Amino acid sequence: MSDTAKLGAPSVEKLRRLRPRALAALLSGDPADAAPWVELAARHGLAGGQLRLGRMLLDGAGMPQDGAAALGWFKTAARSGDAEAMNMVGRCYENGWGTAKDSEVAAGWYRRSAEAGHDWGEYNYANMLFDGLGVAVDLPAALGWYLKACAKGHPRAMNQAGRCHEEGWGVMRDLTAAAHWYRKSAEGGYFRGQYNHAAMLAAQGRVQEAAGWYAKAADGGTLEIRRRIGRELLGGDQPGLRAVGLRALELACESGQASDCFHYGRVLLHGFRCAQNVEAGTDWLQRAARLGHEGAAEELDRAAA
């Protein structure tokens, strides 16, 4: 029997008797079990319950999805001063979740969250300033907010701080500072930080170290970053990185897209900067053909001729 089930039917008295840690665990539990308690907590003014209820409604977890209702609960929690809820209101307006998209309103909520010291609010407000969404472009101010989030250990903000220093966006170009922030972001587990850290290591000739970080970026990254790593490392002038590039192309095939299977199959079939593997290459090209890639069958025919 779960801890939630042991509590029996939800009641205000039971909520009041729970210690903060137990209450937090209850509200963050399995959505199906937690839903009645979360709704009770939200309706009785607990900001943590309101925030959790908003997230559950937004995701359709434990209850039917309802973006408008989610936004309502985020606003309720935000009005009580919850900085995380302020950030979520901003996200709803930025992305059009439960409301029409409105970058200006989103930026306002992100700013409130940032000024209240929430790291995601700082990061998201910095992005708005960086891109000029809902506010005027202000690169020095954007970097300032990224750095505030960095001080709280935010890996995505660290990567952005690295980019600003590398490119000279809002600050004098400083590759030493860029390398520092990329490393911190990489160590924090952000795949873009890992990619950028690896690229700087490779540029310094530290190929073995770079290979490890490229591999981490490919393992945890998006399809776009996997494709980029595969393309750059296989086509680059560092033989010690090509195995990682080949692995990245294989990981890209997890997308199930015909183009990825076709590209990986051709590389293997012809041994492009890797050991030739006709059998595996043929298999991947056949997969690409089954997925509808028009050039895969022609490639197989040419290989068989």
Residues 90 and 169 in one domain: yes
Q: Using one digit for the tens of pLDDT, what is the confidence trace for 50-83?
A: 999 999 999 999 899 999 999 999 999 999 999 9
Residues 72 and 21 in one domain: yes
State residue 1's pLDDT score.
40
Residues 56 and 150 in one domain: no
| Residue 98 amino acid letter | G
E strand residue ranges, the chain: none
For residue 30 the two structure tokens come to: 């399995």
State residue 133's pLDDT score.
98
Taking 90 as the threshold, does the pLDDT of residue 37 lie above it? no
Cα–Cα distance for residue pair 139/84, rounded to 1 Å: 24
Taking 80 as the threshold, does the pLDDT of residue 18 lie above it? no
Cα–Cα distance for residue pair 281/276, rounded to 1 Å: 8
- Range from 17-31, 53-67, 257-271 carrying the lowest mean pLDDT: 17-31
Q: What is the DSSP letter of 8?
A: -
Residues 38 and 104 in one domain: no
Q: Structural domain of residue 207, as residue ranges?
A: 192-255
Tell me what percent of the residues of the chain surpass a pLDDT of 90.
Answer: 81
Taking 50 as the threshold, does the pLDDT of residue 290 lie above it? yes
The more confident residue out of 248 and 5 is: 248
Cα–Cα distance for residue pair 116/272, rounded to 1 Å: 53
Q: What is the DSSP letter of 96?
A: T
Average pLDDT over the chain, rounded to an integer: 93
State residue 7's pLDDT score.
67
Which helix H or strand E contains 204, and what residues bound it?
none
For residue 284 the two structure tokens come to: 């991947």
Residues 6 and 75 in one domain: yes
Neighbours of 157 (CB within 10 A): 31
Taking 90 as the threshold, does the pLDDT of residue 27 lie above it? no
How remote is the C-alpha of 212 from its chain's centroid?
20
Which helix H or strand E contains 173, and what residues bound it?
none
For residue 180 the two structure tokens come to: 């520092």
Show which of 52, 80, 108 is a domain's final residue: 80
State residue 22's pLDDT score.
80
Cβ–Cβ under 8 Å, residues 210 and 198: yes
Q: Using one digit for the tens of pLDDT, what is the confidence trace for 210-224?
A: 999 999 999 999 999
**What CATH number should be reported for the domain holding residue 129?**
1.25.40.10
Cα–Cα distance for residue pair 184/190, rounded to 1 Å: 9
Residues 182 and 87 in one domain: yes
Range 140-149 average pLDDT? 98
User: CB neighbours of 181 closer than 8 A, spacing ≥ 6?
Assistant: 150, 158, 159, 161, 162, 165, 193
| Domain total in the chain | 4
Q: Using one digit for the tens of pLDDT, what is the confidence trace for 182-214?
A: 999 999 999 999 999 999 999 999 999 999 999
Q: What is the DSSP letter of 29?
A: S
State residue 33's pLDDT score.
83
Residues 88 and 111 in one domain: yes
Cβ–Cβ under 8 Å, residues 70 and 54: yes
In angstroms and rounded to an integer, the radius of gyration of the C-alpha atoms of the chain is: 24
